[in-house]
Each structure stands twice: as C-alpha cells, then as structure tokens.
Amino acid sequence: MDIKTVGIVGAGQMGNGIAHVFALAGYDVLLNDISEDALRKSLDLIDRNIDRQVSRGKVSEEDKNAALARISTTTKLSDLGVSDLVIEAATERETVKQAIFEDLLPHIQPHTILTSNTSSISITRLASRTDRPEKFMGFHFMNPVPVMQLVELIRGIATDDKTYKTLLGVVEKLGKTTASAEDFPGFIVNRILMPMINEAVYTLYEGVGSVKSIDEAMKLGANHPMGPLELADFIGLDTCLAIMNVLHDGLADTKYRPCPLLTKYVEAGWLGRKTDRGFYDYRGETPVPTR
Ligand code: CAA
C-alpha cells in the first residue's frame, strides 16, 4: 500500500521526533496535539534538530526547508481523517490511547492503518477496541528518534500481512532498521532495558553506589553511551515506572517489581529532564546528582 500522508497524535518528545523523520523522508505530516503551545514548541524543536543535521552536513538547507513545509499542525483530531497512516504517540496510559482511537475512528478512511508508538501496552488489546484490528500495529520508535536506528514492529494477534509489509516498507523509506517483536509486555527493547534501569535504581536505593558511580560504572564498564540513571531521566521516570508496572502486571513475576525509590521520584514530580529534576538536577549549568 502506498502511504503518502501520515497523521501523528501527540507532539511530545516522541511525536516531534517521529514528525521530523517522516517529513525528511518525504511524507506529508499532520501533527496533532490538544495544546497549541505544544505544537508551536514542537515545530521549533524540529527546526533546531534538523539544523543540527544541516550543520553536520547530513541534511541540505533545501531538504530542511522542504521537510518543514511538509508538516502541518492541528488541534483537531478529526483533521487526521485524511491520513493513510496514523501513529499515536500520546501519553503512555492505556485509557488515554483508547480514547484517542475511539475519537479518531469516525473520521478515518477504510484503508487507513492505525499504529501506536506504545512502549509496552498490549497491541492486541488496543486493536480489539477499534473497527480494524487487522490494520493495527505497534510502531515503536526510540528516543531520540532522528538519531536512533531501530524501529520495533509489533503485530497484534489479528494484524494482517499486508499491514506488516506496508510498515516494513515505510521503515525502509525512513532509512531505519526494524526488529519484529511478538506482542508480549515490553516487546523486546523495554523487556530488557527497563529491568536494567530498575536494577540501577535498586542499586542506588540499597546504597551500593551513588548516582555518579552507577552511571560511570555502566558507561565506562559496559560501554553504554549513557549511564542507566541518566538514561532514565532522558526517557522520563513516569514512563519508566509505567513500563515496569506493565511488565510486573503482565508477566506476574516479582522480578519486575518497580523499585520503591523510582515510585518516590515520580510521586515527587521529579520525572527527569522534562521537569528539570530526576536522578540529576538540570536547573544549573551542569547536571548535579540528586542523591
Ligand atoms: N535530533 C537530531 N540529531 C540529534 C538529536 C536530535 N534530537 N539528538 C542528538 N543528535 C545528534 C547530534 O547532532 C550528534 O550528531 P553527529 O553524530 O552527527 O555529531 C549525535 O546525535 C550525537 O549527539 P551529541 O554529540 O549531542 O551527544 P552524544 O554523543 O552524547 O549522543 C545520544 C547523544 C545519541 C542521545 C547518546 O547519548 C545515546 O545514544 N544515548 C542512549 C539513547 C538510548 O538508549 N535511547 C533509547 C531509549 S529507550 C526508548 O526510547 C524506548 C522506550 O520505549 C523507552
């Protein structure tokens, strides 16, 4: 199937990265959010992030301008009705995602493929509440989207082959690489990554190491580009906790229990970079560990 217009729901850090890469790959992008302000900030961020690529000679000024011209924004979900493909990238809460798909359904065309960028919620369950479970898939991008090479593709139990093959083609056009995962909690990346991050928080909670020593240990000792606590702040501690809860509930194994210290940070509203405080305090010139 030929995909030309892509609707993206949610202009947060994932939605804006997804809009960025689709526009650069030549797709017409409709970016939707309930907040005008979020849409304005998102366009501004896309502009600055493409500029980084221009300054490193990875994208030409001409391609940048063409990409920006391909992005339209709207606060009306119904405007996404013209899309061939919709990517939901809203908050990682099942009730929110479900409500978005319900509101969207009366406006979309029969051929429209629906996808969710969920990092862990059941694709089969989200799909079953729509009128097209065979045209529904998990389409999981990694943060920062313009830099990370991987896209996880998750088929629900009813997803048909045509939908899967269409998305394989889309990812190829984006110049990225796919990993196909079955629809079980956390899929592949988060099934492995989140327990590691959670274990790092336990290591801090139990006093085995400080924030600095835990991050240094994994950066220099395991060659990770970011330490696990720095990465947790980057992803968002609320998202990390939500994913651990999905693993814990869905796999019913105590080895996935979220660390109480992670819960405490989320209760404090210290959600990482997006709130300027998490395992590090980002309000000054350089990040300072909070423990
Ligand atoms: N847009 C465009 N380009 C960007 C960018 C953005 N948002 N962010 C960084 N870049 C580019 C930079 O311009 C730079 O480009 P060059 O290589 O051409 O110089 C490159 O990326 C590296 O950036 P920096 O030099 O600024 O910083 P860095 O070397 O420290 O790398 C990083 C930054 C790429 C984020 C690196 O630290 C990293 O890979 N961290 C781990 C990220 C990760 O694990 N992500 C997955 C999270 S899990 C997830 O997303 C799934 C989930 O469901 C939770």
170-215 pLDDT, tens digit each? 999 999 999 999 999 999 999 999 999 999 999 999 999 999 999 9
Is 99 within a domain? yes
Residue 115 shares a structural domain with residue 216? no
| CA of residue 37 to ligand 1 center, whole Å | 25
| CA of residue 129 to ligand 1 center, whole Å | 35
Residue 147: give its domain's CATH number: 3.40.50.720
Cβ atoms 217, 199 nearer than 8 A = no
Q: Give me the pLDDT at residue 1, please.
A: 77
Give the domain range for residue 203.
191-289
Query: Is 172 a catalytic site residue?
Result: no
User: Among 134, 162, 181, where does a domain finish?
Assistant: 181
Q: Structural domain tally of the chain?
A: 2
Specify the pTM: 0.94
Residue 30 shares a structural domain with residue 106? yes
Residue 144 shares a structural domain with residue 261? no
Q: Is the shortest distance between the CB of 142 and ligand 1 below 6 Å?
A: yes
Taking the C-alpha atoms of residue 86 and residue 135, their distance in angstroms, rounded to an integer, is 11
* Phi, psi torsion values for 112, nearest 5 degrees: -60, 130
Residue 97 shares a structural domain with residue 203? no
Residue 127 shares a structural domain with residue 62? yes
On the 0-12 / 13-18 / 19+ scale of CB atoms within 10 A, 154 is buried
Query: Is 248 a catalytic site residue?
Result: no
| CA dihedral over 158, 160, 165, 170, signed as positive or negative | negative
Which residue's alpha carbon is nearest to atom 8 within ligand 1?
A: 144
Residue 24 shares a structural domain with residue 150? yes
pLDDT in tens, the chain (291 residues): 799 999 999 999 999 999 999 999 999 999 999 999 999 999 999 999 999 999 999 999 999 999 999 999 999 999 999 999 999 999 888 999 999 999 999 999 999 999 999 998 999 999 999 999 999 999 999 999 999 999 999 999 999 999 999 999 999 999 999 999 999 999 999 999 999 999 999 999 999 999 999 999 999 999 999 999 999 999 999 999 999 999 999 999 999 999 999 999 999 999 999 999 999 999 999 999 999
pLDDT tens, position by position, 18-58: 999 999 999 999 999 999 999 999 999 999 999 999 999 99
Query: Is 285 a catalytic site residue?
Result: no
Q: What is the enclosing helix (H) or strand (E) of 197? A: helix 189-205
Q: Is the shortest distance between the CB of 245 and ligand 1 below 6 Å?
A: no
Residue 141 shares a structural domain with residue 39? yes
User: Among 158, 181, 204, where does a domain finish?
Assistant: 181
Query: Is 140 a catalytic site residue?
Result: yes
| Of 92, 116, 117, 140, catalytic | 140
Would you mind telling me the total number of residues written for the chain in this entry? 291
Cβ atoms 232, 259 nearer than 8 A = no
Cβ atoms 182, 156 nearer than 8 A = no
